[in-house]
Amino acid sequence: MFNRDRADDPERRREELVDRLAEAGHIEGDATAEAMRSVPRHEFVSEERRDAAYADRPLHIGAGQTISAPHMVAVVCDLLDVGADDRVLEVGTGCGYHAAVTAELADDVYSVEYVDRLAERARRRLQSLGYDAVDIRVGDGRHGWPTHAPYDAAYLTCAAPSLPDAVVDQLRAGGRLVAPVGTDDQRLVAATRTADGLDREDHGAVRFVRMQGGD
């Protein structure tokens, strides 16, 4: 039965969600847990989807895009392991939720969104919630955002056939990149830039929307 009192208490539902994710092993870092507790996910979805804001599943946000399931946001944050002084590149702003979580961990977040109306909505939403550390531009995420490079970390919220060369090139030595890679069969890849190229780790099968943009 639908519980209206519980639905009208987003803070409680957010705490319960983070507790469930931690118990299931989807959150390992205390910093990630606190970031997830701090960001009001219900503010990043439409009114008709707010009742599902704290379910652990993706939700449609328009333009064929989704807000990632909370456990995937947590996993990516844990793998990136960023600190307050880090500069982070996000490819795929979407509704801005993942950028907000990242901004709880790092002081500088630069996000590239291909769909201009999504970028504008996310910009307004983040500003209204006080996330001034997030800068958004409209563009093809395959090219990254060279103006602010080098980055300490970068991540994709959409699947690419391979790790974008431009994004890799914009990482500092020792910088970390987390991305879903593949088309029909996708794997979550965490890579560290080294003097010899990239050290890659495979973190299992995932399912993300595909990256938009030109060739």
Residues labelled catalytic: 68
Query: What are 27-34's contacts with CB under 8 Å, separation 24+?
Result: 27/71, 27/74, 27/78, 28/78, 29/77, 29/78, 29/81, 31/77, 31/105, 32/74, 32/77, 32/78, 32/105, 33/74, 34/104
Using alpha carbons, select from 31, 170, 185, 162 the residue that is nearest to residue 103. Answer: 31
Q: Which of 154, 211, 151 is nearest to 181 (CA)?
A: 211
